[in-house]
Amino acid sequence: MSETSVSCLITKLSHYLTLTDDSREKLAILEEEEISFSRGSEIYTIDDANEHLYVVKSGWLYTYLDLPDGRRQIVKIHHPGDIIGFADIAFRQATTNLAAAEDVVLCPFPKRGLRMIFGEAPQITALMFSIAVRDQVVLLDTLRALGRMSSRERLVYFLLDLVSRLRITNRSMTDTFRLPLTQTEIGDTIGLTNVYVSRAFTALEKDGLIARTAKGVRIVSEAELKAMVDFADRYEQMDTTWFPE
Amino acid sequence: MSETSVSCLITKLSHYLTLTDDSREKLAILEEEEISFSRGSEIYTIDDANEHLYVVKSGWLYTYLDLPDGRRQIVKIHHPGDIIGFADIAFRQATTNLAAAEDVVLCPFPKRGLRMIFGEAPQITALMFSIAVRDQVVLLDTLRALGRMSSRERLVYFLLDLVSRLRITNRSMTDTFRLPLTQTEIGDTIGLTNVYVSRAFTALEKDGLIARTAKGVRIVSEAELKAMVDFADRYEQMDTTWFPE
DNA sequence: GCGGCGCATTAAGGCCGATTAACGAGACGC
DNA sequence: GCGTCTCGTTAATCGGCCTTAATGCGCCGC
């Protein structure tokens, strides 16, 4: 446990409003415990009893669904500061699978930790509710991408969505970011094969819209990319005017 | 206003728990006002100030997103008893468009009606929160369908999802249901063209998996269809054990 | 330094769904 | 009863993405 490091959960939530000391203390409780998983680990799978939620301390993970014949769809990528497991609150058993895209550190906390938040921290409750709703809108955007976009457009949408999210926790980040996912994983996210992810990447690079570094990507012409897929940033702003306190 | 007719909102919510008289009174307030729209009407569009939510009294509607060149993705179909607009709570302006698939009657109520519910009716609050979360899981299933399924599988998933939802408000419904959507609209929902929706329909009918009536569909071999897409019913059961009261 | 492995790239061939178009059936207005 | 419009069907052609497979690069263990 690193006392000195700033909590990325608090960083993420602070983007939207100034947290009270009381709120900060309540959030700290959610990050007391730590577990590490190595790349490729399955943290939980469908039908597991889901008694815990997780705060991501470091590393990327993803939630996915399978088809019986082996096809796979990644439905959500998780970054440091994210809370994993909200979607399963309404069910006794997990409805999805969770895997580590690289070595990760998670902070598990029992569902009743959430009840404590709900009962005693109205400010965080409202924010978490808003984030859950916001994520739903993002899913609608993703649906639009998978249902109606070409391979190149899908990749563009995928990259723009990533940048927008990463900027919330890392304000200094401009246009270059690390991308610790294989092209097969990216394909499973946007409904393509690894082959076509590769082709789309090189095509975008050739057109000078993006550039690729060792393990990352640089967005070269963000405006052009945004116009290409009619991109709307759902992360930057949220309506917090109706919040309590 | 028909005093005699049972509210479909109350019917829908009653599927999951027994509502107290107090809860029923609070819900009735949400259905006081009524507006009618005829088939094809646009009730609201992106960037409209979204000050209202709507309870569907009768008729089907759908929420959709556009691409600049005219491609369209329907992201959610609404039935009687549904509450429309949850997803936009976190935003000042609408992030989606809403259109009437047939003649409909809606009950609009201001956002602050929801605040009244949140503050004074913990039972309904918990239920609405659960439904919002449940809908999120359904969206993940849909993502899997659009990302990884063939045209026939997508149509099967679409039909099974519809039946499961309709059974919540209409317990007597067995396997035949009305389908007031054009094949173009169905295609916009599952990411296909009207042509391929037609082909998928006739293929399923030829295989004896479904049958088509005048304006509806009959599920002939539900077990077989479910196996085909590894279908999980997210509507029948929800975990309400943690609810207050 | 060597072999093995995972991953990205590239090419060839095939299939599925898009596109376009023509036709028919039904609903509706007049 | 006629014309018009929408919607579903069917066919022909086209193109994008998949499948499969071969190649090469970088990383790691030994």
Q: What is the mean pLDDT of residues B78-94?
A: 88
Q: Is the pLDDT of residue B183 over 70?
A: yes
Residue of A nearest to B143 (CA): A143
Q: What are the tens digits of pLDDT across the range A179-196? A: 999 999 999 999 999 999
User: How far lies A186's CA from each of A73, A74, A161, A233, B176, in Å?
Assistant: 10, 8, 13, 20, 40
Q: Answer with the residue of higher pLDDT: B173 or B17.
A: B17
Contacts of B54 (CB under 8 A, 6+ apart): B43, B83, B84, B85, B106, B107, B108, B109
End-to-end CA distance of chain A: 32
User: Using an 8 Å Cβ cutoff, are B158 and B144 in contact?
Assistant: no
Tell me what pLDDT residue B2 has: 42
CB of A193 under 7 A from strand D? yes
Tokens of B50: 């979204």
Give B241's DSSP letter.
T
Smallest CA–C1' distance to D6, residue: B182
Q: Does B88 touch chain A (CB under 8 A)?
A: yes
Of A174-178, B41-45, B146-150, B172-176, the range with the lowest mean pLDDT is B172-176
Instruction: Using the structure, give the distance in angstroms from the CA atom of B196 to the C1' atom of D5, rounded to a whole number.
Output: 22
Higher pLDDT, B111 or B55: B55
**Is the minimum distance from the CB of A182 to strand C below 7 Å?**
yes
So what's the pLDDT on residue B225? 96
> Strand, coil or helix: what is B80?
coil
| Residue ranges in chain A modelled with pLDDT below 50 | 1-4
CA distance B142 to chain A (A): 8
**Coil, helix or strand at residue B208:** coil
A137 contacts B95? CB cut-off 8 A = yes
Q: Write the DSSP string, A13-74.
A: HHTTSPPPHHHHHHHHHHTS--EEE-TT-EEE-TTSB--EEEEEEES-EEEEEE-TTS-EEE
Q: How many CA atoms lie within 13 A of B155 on its CB side?
A: 26
Q: Is nucleic acid strand C under 7 Å from B192's C-beta?
A: yes
* Residue A213 contacts strand C, CB under 7 A: no
A149-172 pLDDT, tens per residue?
999 999 999 999 999 999 988 877
Q: What percent of chain A has pLDDT over 90?
A: 58
A197, A44 contact by CB (below 8 A): no
Q: Once rounded to an integer, what is the mean pLDDT over residues B68-82?
A: 94
Closest residue to C20 (CA to C1') is B195
Q: Any idea what the Cα angle at residue A75 is, between residues A72 and A78, rounded to 5°?
A: 120
Residue B229 near residue B150 (C-beta atoms within 8 A): no
Reply yes or no on whether the pLDDT at B3 is more than 50: no
Instruction: Please report the pLDDT score of residue A1 as a whole number.
Output: 42
Q: According to the model, what pLDDT value does residue B66 have?
A: 95
Q: What's the pTM?
A: 0.92
Between the alpha carbon of residue B154 and those of residues A143, A210, B144, the distances in Å are 13, 33, 10
Residue listed under structure tokens 């598990």 = A108
Which domains can be identified in chain B, with CATH numbers? 8-121 (2.60.120.10), 134-229 (1.10.10.10)
Residue B136 and residue A136: Cβ atoms within 8 Å? yes
Say how many C-beta atoms besides its own lie within 10 A of residue B204's C-beta.
23
Report CA-CA distances (Å) from A4 to A1, A25, A31, A91, B190: 9, 15, 14, 37, 49
Probe site for chain A from B69, B73, B157 (most A CB atoms < 10 A): B73
In the predicted model, is pLDDT for residue B1 greater than 60?
no
Of A67, A132, A141, nearest to B132 by CB-CB distance is: A132
